[in-house]
C-alpha cells in the first residue's frame, strides 16, 4: 500500500515537473490504441468474409453432393446397360453424336405456361397473327387475343410473379432493365441453386421475350418446343458460380439487345435477321459451362481444357463448342429449320462473337476497330459487320461497369466473390494468388478503378464513336468510378 502511494506521488510529481514528456507519452499510447483498434476491425472484417465464404462453400457442397448422387444413379443405369453389349449398339444407333444434355434425362424444364403466354402475348397476339393451330411457332404456347391480353394484364399486374415479370419486361428496351428483379420473382438470386432452378429463370424468360420481340420464331420457322428445350438446356448448362452464371447470360443478352436496337447497331450496319439471330444466340451461350475459374488458372494448372484448346481462348472455345455439340441432338436443335447457307453463316458469326469475348484478345480487337474507324469504314461489309457484332458482345460482357449504380454494385460484388474463390483455390494449390483475387488483401476499389480506367472507359468510348447512343455507358461508368474513389476499401 505504502509503495503504491509512493509510486502515485512520484508519478504526479513527474507529470507536473515534465508535462511535455507525459503529453507525448499519452499521445503515442492513444495512437497505439487506435492502431490496435484498426487492426482488430480489419481482423473482424476478414473473419466475417471467411465465415461468408464457408457458408457459400457449404451451399456449393450441398449442391455438388446432390449432383453426385444423381451421377451415381445414372452410372448404375449405364452399368446395367453395359452388361448387354447389344444395348450399346442400339444406343449408338439412336444417338449417333456425342450428346451433352445438361438437363440429363429431361429435354425441357416444366415451365409455367401462363407466364409464357403472358410474355408471348406482349409481342404477338391472335388477332394480328392469324393464329394457325398447326404452326410449329405456336406449338406450345397459345397467345391471347388483344382483348384477352388487356384483361390478363389488368388481372395479373399486381401479382408478385406475373406482374413483376411483366413490369420488368416493360423495360427490356431500356438501359436500366433489371435482370435481378426477373430472377428474384422466379427463383431468387441464390447463385448456387441457379443450375437447378426447376421452371426456368431470368435467362429463360429474357430469351423467350426477345425471340418473340424480334419475331425470330416466325422469320426462321423455329419450332417453339425445340427452342424451349434449347434454352432450358443452355440455362441448366451454366454453373452456380457467383458471377459467371445464367443471370449474367441473361444480363448480357439484354445488353446485346440494347446495343442492337436503341444503341443503333442494326441500323448502322444494316444487320440482317440472320445476324440478329446470331447475336442473340451468342449472347445467351457466351459463358455456357463456365467453371468459375479463368483461362489463366486453366493454363497455369495445365488442365485438360487448356491442353485440349492449346492454351488459346480455352473457356471461350469450350462455351461455343459445347453448344454446337448440344444442338447435334435434334431435341435441342434450335437452328434446324435454317438452310445450309444460313446455318453456315450463323455458325461463323457465333464462333467469331463468342471467341472475341476472351479478354486476352482485347487489345487486338480494339486495335482492329481503331483502324476501321480511322479508315472511316461504313461498316456495311460483311467482315466489318461481324467485327461490330463481336465488339457489341464484348461490350455487353463487361457492360456491368457502365450500368446504373444499383445494378453495377451487385455485379461488382459478384465478380469479386468469384475472384476470391479462385484466389482460395490458388492458395490451396500453393500457387500465388492472381491480382485482386486474394481475399486477405482486399482492394476492390483499386481493382475496379483500374479496370474502368484502362479497359472499360476507353473501350466504351470507342464503341460510342461507332454508336453515339452508347455514350450512356461511358457516363454511368464515370459515375461508378467516382463511387469507388469515395468508398475505398483498401
Cell numbers representing residue 171 in the block: 423495360
Is 121 near ligand CMP (CB under 6 A)?
Answer: no
Minimum CB distance to ligand CMP, residue 243 (Å): 8
Residues 6+ away with beta carbon under 8 Å from 51: none
Name the strand (E) or helix (H) holding 10: helix 2-17
Cell numbers representing residue 428 in the block: 490451396
Stretch in the footprint of ligand CMP (CB under 6 A) among 59-67, 272-280, 385-393, 407-415:
407-415
Q: Which member of 235, 289, 397, 417 binds ligand CMP (CB under 6 A)?
A: 397
Cell numbers representing residue 432 in the block: 500465388
- Is 397 labelled a binding residue? yes
Cβ-based nearer residue to ligand CMP, 182 or 318:
318
- Is 246 labelled a binding residue? yes
Q: Which member of 398, 407, 437, 457 binds ligand CMP (CB under 6 A)?
A: 398
Burial 140-155 (b: 16+ CB within 10 A, else e): bbebbeeeebeebbee
Task: Indicate which residue of 244, 254, 257, 319 is catalytic.
Answer: 244
Cβ-based nearer residue to ligand CMP, 165 or 401:
401
Query: Residue 337: phi, psi to the nearest 5?
Result: -85, 0
Is 401 near ligand CMP (CB under 6 A)?
Answer: yes
Minimum CB distance to ligand CMP, residue 394 (Å): 8
Look at the block and give the residue holding cell 460483311: 382
Cell numbers representing residue 456 in the block: 472499360
CA 464 to chain centre: 23
CA-to-CA distance for 162 and 115, rounded, in angstroms? Answer: 6
Minimum CB distance to ligand CMP, residue 42 (Å): 23
Cell numbers representing residue 173 in the block: 428496351
Tell me the CA end-to-end span of the chain in Å, nearest whole number: 50
Map the footprint of ligand CMP across residues 47-66, applying CB under 6 A.
Answer: none
Q: Binders of ligand CMP: how many residues, by CB under 6 A?
A: 11
Minimum CB distance to ligand CMP, residue 401 (Å): 5
Closest by CA position to 196, among listed 126, 245, 244, 260: 245
Is 451 near ligand CMP (CB under 6 A)?
Answer: yes
Cβ-based nearer residue to ligand CMP, 6 or 454:
454
Q: Is residue 244 annotated as part of the catalytic site, yes or no?
A: yes
Residues 6+ away with beta carbon under 8 Å from 228: 108, 109, 111, 140, 208
Neighbouring CB atoms inside 10 A of 170's CB total 11
Cβ-based nearer residue to ligand CMP, 250 or 401:
401
Cβ-based nearer residue to ligand CMP, 141 or 255:
255
Cβ-based nearer residue to ligand CMP, 235 or 287:
287
Cβ-based nearer residue to ligand CMP, 149 or 474:
474
Three-class DSSP category at 130 = coil
Is 412 near ligand CMP (CB under 6 A)?
Answer: yes
Stretch in the footprint of ligand CMP (CB under 6 A) among 87-95, 96-104, 129-137, 394-402:
394-402
Stretch in the footprint of ligand CMP (CB under 6 A) among 99-107, 260-268, 302-310, 397-405:
397-405
Residues 6+ away with beta carbon under 8 Å from 316: 354, 355, 357, 358
Minimum CB distance to ligand CMP, residue 322 (Å): 15
Burial class of residue 106 (count of CB atoms within 10 Å of its CB; 0-12, 13-18, 19+): middle
- Is 245 labelled a binding residue? yes
Pattern of binders to ligand CMP over 229-248, x per CB under 6 A?
A: --------------------
Burial 58-84 (b: 16+ CB within 10 A, else e): eebeebeeeeeeeeeeeeeeeeeeeee
> Is there a contact between 119 and 169 (Cβ–Cβ < 8 Å)?
yes
> Is there a contact between 336 and 226 (Cβ–Cβ < 8 Å)?
yes
Map the footprint of ligand CMP across residues 330-349, applying CB under 6 A.
Answer: none
Q: Which member of 415, 437, 449, 472 binds ligand CMP (CB under 6 A)?
A: 415
- State the sign of the Cα–Cα–Cα–Cα dihedral 42, 47, 48, 52: positive
Alpha helices (H) along 356-428: 362-374, 382-397, 405-428
Q: Which member of 183, 448, 464, 473 binds ligand CMP (CB under 6 A)?
A: 448
Is 193 near ligand CMP (CB under 6 A)?
Answer: no
DSSP character for 9?
H
- Is 248 labelled a binding residue? yes
Stretch in the footprint of ligand CMP (CB under 6 A) among 7-15, 72-80, 97-105, 409-417:
409-417
Minimum CB distance to ligand CMP, residue 297 (Å): 11
Map the footprint of ligand CMP across residues 352-381, applying CB under 6 A.
Answer: 357, 359
Stretch in the footprint of ligand CMP (CB under 6 A) among 7-15, 31-39, 275-283, 398-406:
398-406
Cβ-based nearer residue to ligand CMP, 397 or 424:
397
Burial class of residue 158 (count of CB atoms within 10 Å of its CB; 0-12, 13-18, 19+): exposed
Q: Residues forming the annotated binding site?
A: 244-248, 286-287, 397, 448
The annotated binding site for Zn(2+) is made up of 248, 286-287, 397
User: What are the catalytic residues?
Assistant: 244
Residue ranges of the annotated binding site for AMP are 244-248, 287, 397, 448
Binding site for ligand CMP (CB under 6 A): 357, 359, 397-398, 400-401, 411-412, 415, 448, 451
Amino acid at each position: 500500500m505504502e509503495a503504491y502511494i509512493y509510486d502515485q506521488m512520484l508519478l504526479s510529481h513527474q507529470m507536473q515537473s515534465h508535462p511535455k514528456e507525459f503529453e507525448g507519452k499519452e499521445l503515442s499510447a492513444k495512437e497505439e490504441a487506435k492502431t490496435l483498434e484498426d487492426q482488430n476491425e480489419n481482423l473482424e472484417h476478414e473473419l466475417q468474409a471467411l465465415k461468408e465464404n464457408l457458408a457459400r462453400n457449404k451451399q456449393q457442397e450441398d449442391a455438388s453432393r446432390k449432383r453426385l448422387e444423381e451421377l451415381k444413379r445414372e452410372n448404375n443405369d449405364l452399368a446395367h446397360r453395359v452388361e448387354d453389349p447389344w444395348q450399346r449398339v442400339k444406343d449408338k444407333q439412336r444417338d449417333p453424336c456425342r450428346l451433352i444434355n445438361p438437363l440429363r434425362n429431361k429435354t425441357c424444364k416444366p415451365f409455367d405456361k401462363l407466364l409464357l403466354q403472358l410474355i408471348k402475348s406482349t409481342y404477338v397476339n391472335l388477332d394480328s397473327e392469324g393464329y394457325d393451330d398447326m404452326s410449329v411457332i405456336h406449338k406450345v404456347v397459345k397467345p391471347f387475343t388483344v382483348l384477352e391480353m388487356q384483361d390478363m394484364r389488368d388481372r395479373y399486374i399486381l401479382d408478385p410473379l406475373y406482374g413483376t415479370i411483366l413490369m420488368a419486361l416493360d423495360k427490356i428496351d431500356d438501359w436500366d432493365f433489371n435482370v435481378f428483379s426477373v430472377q428474384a420473382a422466379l427463383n431468387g438470386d441464390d447463385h448456387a441453386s441457379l443450375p437447378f432452378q426447376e421452371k426456368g429463370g431470368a435467362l429463360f424468360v429474357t430469351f423467350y421475350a426477345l425471340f418473340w420481340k424480334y419475331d425470330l420464331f416466325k422469320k426462321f420457322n423455329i419450332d417453339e418446343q425445340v427452342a424451349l428445350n434449347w434454352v432450358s438446356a443452355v440455362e441448366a448448362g451454366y454453373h452456380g458460380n457467383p458471377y459467371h452464371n445464367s443471370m449474367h447470360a441473361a444480363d448480357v443478352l439484354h445488353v446485346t439487345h440494347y446495343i442492337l436496337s436503341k444503341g443503333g447497331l442494326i441500323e448502322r450496319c444494316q444487320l440482317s435477321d440472320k445476324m440478329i439471330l446470331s447475336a442473340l444466340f451468342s449472347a445467351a451461350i457466351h459463358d455456357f459451362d463456365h467453371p468459375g475459374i479463368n483461362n489463366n488458372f486453366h493454363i497455369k494448372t495445365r488442365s485438360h481444357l487448356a491442353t485440349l484448346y492449346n492454351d488459346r481462348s480455352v473457356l471461350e472455345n469450350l462455351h461455343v463448342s459445347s453448344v454446337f455439340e448440344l444442338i447435334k441432338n435434334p431435341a435441342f436443335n434450335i437452328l434446324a429449320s435454317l438452310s445450309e447457307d444460313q446455318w453456315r453463316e450463323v455458325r461463323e458469326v457465333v464462333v467469331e462473337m463468342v471467341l472475341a469475348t476472351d479478354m486476352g484478345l482485347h487489345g487486338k480487337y480494339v486495335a482492329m476497330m481503331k483502324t476501321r474507324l480511322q479508315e472511316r469504314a461504313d461498316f456495311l461489309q460483311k467482315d466489318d459487320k461481324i467485327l461490330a457484332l463481336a465488339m457489341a458482345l464484348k461490350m455487353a460482357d463487361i457492360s456491368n461497369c457502365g450500368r446504373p449504380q444499383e445494378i453495377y454494385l451487385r455485379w461488382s460484388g459478384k465478380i469479386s466473390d468469384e475472384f476470391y474463390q479462385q484466389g482460395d483455390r490458388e492458395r490451396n494449390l500453393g500457387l500465388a494468388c492472381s491480382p485482386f483475387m486474394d481475399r486477405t488483401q482486399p482492394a476492390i476499389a483499386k481493382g475496379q478503378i483500374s479496370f474502368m480506367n484502362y479497359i472499360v472507359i476507353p473501350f466504351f468510348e470507342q464503341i460510342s464513336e461507332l454508336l453515339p447512343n452508347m455514350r450512356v455507358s461511358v457516363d454511368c461508368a464515370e459515375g461508378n468510378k467516382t463511387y469507388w474513389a469515395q468508398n475505398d476499401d483498401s
